[in-house]
Amino acid sequence: MAVTKTVTGATPYEQDGNVVSWNIEIQYEDGEEDTYFTSSFSNSVSSTDPNGEEVFEEKAKGEWTLAEIMALIPTDHWDKVFASQYDTVITNPPVIPVADNAFELPTA
């Protein structure tokens, strides 16, 4: 199975009838049965960055498309994080030591 990405939530924050900020959630999934793994990420995006530069054009929430909302989220970064998580949990999980509860202390 290939990695699937699904937007599971998008909350607009409005001012004067236009969206000025989005809180976007996305779920990643990969694998089947024993190799199934899922992880969720979220991000808030304001229409302007801290320097006052425009990040996106403010417009009414009904004018937004799913593609425009997805373009706001840092999927390149999240792709790498998810791949690393999948590798750590599924592909190369850590070896967990096994306790030897029958071990007896030596007498000398």
Q: For the full predicted model, state whether its pTM sits above 0.75.
A: yes
**All residues at 6 or more sequence positions from 74 whose CB lies less than 8 Å from its CB, including other chains:** 43
Residues of the chain with pLDDT under 50: none
| Half-sphere exposure at residue 14, Cβ-oriented, CA atoms within 13 angstroms | 10
The pLDDT value given to residue 2: 87
The pLDDT value given to residue 34: 87
3-state secondary structure of 94: coil
The pLDDT value given to residue 46: 97
The pLDDT value given to residue 29: 96
- Which tokens belong to 6? 């699904």
The pLDDT value given to residue 11: 97
CA distance 21 to 60: 11
The pLDDT value given to residue 107: 87
The pLDDT value given to residue 1: 66
Q: How far is CA 55 from CA 71, 97, 101, in A?
A: 11, 49, 59
